[in-house]
Structure formats: structure tokens, C-alpha cells
Structure 1
């Protein structure tokens, strides 16, 4: 993945702490000497609209995309304008976020438009790595911000115009190659996630374990008799299975009515019990206590039916509807907030129930429920009436044993791919830093056809390719 690039023959101290040494022939300049800086200004709120009347209006970095803004508002009386190919920078918290204007925008007080006198993409990447400096000089009593004076006086390295173009061309190609690899790996993760869910679905609704089916005696066979489940989103099930409802095999609880709580009931760690919500279930359906919340002991003991215990299941009923977690480790005294449903006293194998709730079939059930309500949520009554296949405990446990092994294999591959993506992202960030700060010498660089990373697609001009040529 990594290629060694040559360095310049001689370097000198830049005098800038975060920058370190720069090539001997490079200069140090200030932003005001290489750009035109245009600070944003508030507009009359009565002129702001969402019906696309007037000029697209950007209030801050909330409208920033990966490279270009995604406007949500318009104004009929614009005051400060950012033109196409100008760099947009957030001057209020979080200070230093960047985008590039792809057309004419009106900018509010939270933004500044910077028009480069030389290469656009070179300056854009240089300002991105300067964010550490923005964080250092930003000040404010209620929120961080950066003044016009401080912004204009930011010191930056300045290679020749020709070198800037070389660096921009290099970064355009190399970052595109890295992004292509990352994109393919992200698609692989998406495929693996869907594959895992299909494996779970076939096991918990069809009794299919790999290319075999599990029969009534617990044996793996080539085929078994199937029957209609009577539930559209479940379809056929093995002939010896039954269909039941959640309310017949478990107790469902929520924090409702007087059992709700306010911020006055929240306490510091050590003064109460954990209270779990949707934010505590991560994307891998595991309990994440990196940002814990605690509720008073009085409020905790008020509702014993929602005290969380080992092997209980938690389902998000508001927000990220349908996310499921199983309490499979000790977390101490804990309860739930109103965003969750607690499932306990489960009469079937809890882990089988957990897998079933993570199947495509149940996802379809959740979609049907949500699409029929004005406010996206699942009520306890609706969850009580969720259908599920039911078979003897021995069959449940064999399905669980298979799924534990199979999903772990898939999860391992997903994690390996995620780690690979992080390595490529770090490499990309490092390559950008080394290029725009002169840590590598690109004066002799010529566009190459894919080199050590991936075949570069030259079939159409990308936005970055266009920007790399803008002076």
C-alpha cells in the first residue's frame, strides 16, 4: 500500500510549531497575502425560506457535505456572497471545518469565503491540516470562534505556483485511488452485514443451517417438509414448528406514565443506577457504556419490573427503531429510559429470540408498523403481538450454536475490513500532510496509471480533478 517518496535535498525551520521543517526554497506567508477573505454576515430572518426563493443561504457548517455544501435554506436579500470555487471555512464552533463552493451562495456569520490567488486544491488541503492551529487560536465565552484578524494572519507554507499544481495533481490522483479502495471495502462491509442477516433469517425462520436443514430430531438433512406460517413477512416454516406471539413467551415492559423521569432525577456516577437508552446500543447491537447516564436510587427502585438483568433483551422503540441488544454480561444495577422496551422472563432460549429480532423478517415487521404511524415508534402492544416461530428448546439451542459460530466468522471479517479502511484513511491523511508541507518532493511527479494502489478511472472528470487545475 505504501510507497516511499523522495525528500527534498535541504530543509529549513518554518518557525511554525505544527508545521516543522519545510523545503529550503519554500516561503512562509500569511493567508491574507495569498487569498481574498470575505467574512459572512447575518441576513434578515424574514427573507430566509425553504422554497428555493432567492440565493442558497449557508448559515454554518451544518450544511457542509463531503466536499460541497448541501443547502437547506435560501434568502431573497443576500448580503455576503461566496462564489464558485471559493473555500468555505467555519469561523464558529467547530472552527476550521471546510467545504468548497460549487456555485454562488450567501454566507451567514458562521462562515467565511476564501478566494485563493493560486491553486485552489493545494490551499484547501493545506487549510484542512491547519485545523489544529484553528483549534488553538479560536476563542469565545459561549462558543469558540476565530476573528477576521486571526484568520488573515494564519501563517502557511508557500511553494512555487508550479509546485502547488504538481502537489494538487498528485493528491487528486492518489486520494482518488485510496477513496476507490475504501469505497470497495465499505461495499464489502455492507454486503457482509446483509449476508449475516440473511444467514440469521434462514436459520430462525426456515431451520436452514448452511446448506442443510435441521429436522425434528435435531439432525441435519438435505430437505424438510415446510408449511405456510400464516404470517406474510415470515413465509414458510418447517412443518414441525409452530407460530406464537411475543406476549405468550415473554414479559414486555417500558418506562411509561408516572414512571417517566426528568433531568432532575439524573445523578452522578455512584449516586444511582445506570439508565439505558437507544444511544447505549451500538451498531453491532452491543451495550456501549462509553457515555453512561445515571438515575437516582429512588427512581430506580420505584420500578422493579424494568430493572435490567442478565439475559434480558432491549429493543429501541423510538429513534433507531428495532435495534436490539442482549444483556450478556454484568453491568450492575440498571434500568431503562422511555426509548427502550425491556423483554424479560423469556420462556424460550433468549439468544434464539435475540437472533430472531435481528432477522430480515422482523425488520420487515418494524417497517410495516412504522409506515402506518405518524410518529415513528413501536408500542408495547404492537411488540406484544409480534409473531415468531417456536420449536422445542433443543432445536433452538442448536440453531443458536450454529449462528454463534457463523456470525462470529462474518463479524471477524467485517472487523478486519474496518481496520483495513482505517489504515487507508490514516495513510491518506498522512500523504496529504506530507505533500502540502513539503515532507516529500513531488516536483518530478507525473500522473501515473494506478501505481501501487488501484487503477485510476479517467473516464470522467471528478470534482477534485477539476479543482486541482483551478488557479
Structure 2
């Protein structure tokens, strides 16, 4: 229903409404004995995925003028944030604030949430808008799947496709449980970081 609403508003395309049969990936054990209330589904059913598109050099510039940020690739990722010094007044493929950004060509698996109200993304980037799920939960899930995505990308020019991401199988806990898991993981990562800084 949420995707139908976004389609009518022109925010997603018809291809985002298509459903495909669930397929398990290599982590079959992860999907066995799932807790009561959790749902197994493909990532495609709970996200909207936007593929980036490169802009010709005459449509962007390298200083901050009127326009929106232009995110070109993995070099724009710094830890869990995004930085760019390119801008465009003619954006075509937009990511919005809070969308999960994933590098999908060249360097595979850099992940961060967009800090910009809106930004144009190049073909090396895909943007993920989670539907009825915690975006932080989806982000942690994708971070866990990075080695698998990197395995799929093995070639002379590494790259993963939309299908590689959309076909991932995810276990969806109730929303309150998602928030609890995210909170626990955040505390664990903060603890690990404090240990690393003290060493």
C-alpha cells in the first residue's frame, strides 16, 4: 500500500511495484527457526531502490553555488557520513535525507545515510529508502551483507546490480524489536570504538 501511494505521487516507478518470488542467498542458517512475529521477505518488498546516473561535466561544478550536492562515488564516504564538493542545478536521480547510500561499482560496500535534504547520485551509488522499517536496522543488515555483495561483484571491474540487492532475503522483526536491536548494536559499536581509542 505504501508503494502504491508513492507510485501515485510519482516518487517511484512502476518497476518498483513488481514482485518476485523469494529466493534465499548463501546464509540459509540465518533464516531457520525465525522468532515468532518475524517475517521473512525479500529486501525488495520493504525498500525503494534508486540507481544513480552520471552527469556530463557541463552539468556540475566544483564549488558551492545554488543547486544540490552531487555524490559521485566511494570517495565521498567518510566513516558513517557523506562529504562532497560537487554540485548541480540539474539533478536527475535524487537521494533524500536519511536514505541509505551504498557504493555499488569499483569500491563495493561503502555505506552511509545521506545528510542532505536532497542530492544527485552518480552511477557508482544506489540509494535505499526503507518502507515501514527502521532505516538504521536496514543499514545494519546491509553492513552485515557487504562481504556477500563483494563476493558477487568479483570481476575485472567490480560491480553489483539492482537485482543483487533486491533479492537479498531479510528477516523483519516487529518495529519495536527493530529499534531495540538498533539501540543494542549502537551501544556495542560505541563500546568497541572506546576500546580502540584507549589502546
- Do Structure 1 and Structure 2 share a fold, with TM-score over 0.5? yes
Q: Structure 1 regions of 5+ residues with no counterpart? A: 1-228, 418-471
Any idea what the Cα deviations from partners look like across 1:385-414, whole Å, max 9, x if unmatched? 122111211111110111111111112223
Matched, 1:324 2:106: no
Residue 245 (structure 1) aligns with: 42
Partner Cα distance (1:345, 1:292) in 2: 27
What is the CA–CA distance in structure 2 between the aligned matches of 1:261 and 1:353, rounded to whole Å? 28
Q: Secondary structure at the match of 1:358?
A: helix
Instruction: Tell me the secondary structure at the aligned position of residue 96 of structure 2.
Output: coil
In 2, Cα distance between equivalents of 1:272 and 1:398: 38
**CA gap 1:265/1:274 in 2 versus in 1, 3 angstroms:** same
Deviations 1:289-343 (A, max 9, x none): 2x52112x1x21xx3xx3222221000001220111113x4x3442211110011
Alignment of structure 1 residues 380-391 onto 2, 5 Å: 380-391=162-173
Matched position secondary structure for 1:401:
helix
- The match for 2:56 is 262
Q: Which residue matches 1:376?
A: 158
For the residues of structure 2 that align with 1:270 and 1:416, how far apart are their CA atoms? 41
Residue 346 (structure 1) shift? 2.8
Partners of 1:272 and 1:403 in 2: how far apart?
36
1:149-188, aligned counterparts within 5 Å? none
State whether structure 2 residue 86 is matched by structure 1 residue 293. Answer: yes
Larger Rg: 1
Q: Give the Å deviation of 1:269.
A: 1.0
Q: Give the whole-Å Cα distance in 1 for the aligned partners of 2:163 and 2:69.
A: 26
Q: Does 1:313 align with 2:83?
A: no
Task: Report the counterpart of residue 146 of structure 2 in structure 1.
Answer: 363
Cα gap change, 1:415/1:391 in structure 2, threshold over 3 Å: closer, same or farther? same
CA contact (8 A) 1:352 1:400 kept: yes
Is 2:63 the counterpart of 1:280? no
Classify 1:230/1:344 alpha carbon distance in 2 versus 1 (closer, same or farther; 3 Å): closer
Distance 1:413 1:292 in 2: 33
> For residues 230 and 369 of structure 1, do their structure 2 counterparts lie closer, same or farther at Cα, with a shift above 3 Å needed?
closer
SS in 1 for 2:190: helix
Higher relative contact order (CA 8 A, sep 6+): 2
- In 2, the alpha carbon distance for the partners of 1:236 and 1:386 equals 12
Q: TM-score, normalised by structure 1?
A: 0.34
SS of equivalent residue, structure 1 residue 292: coil
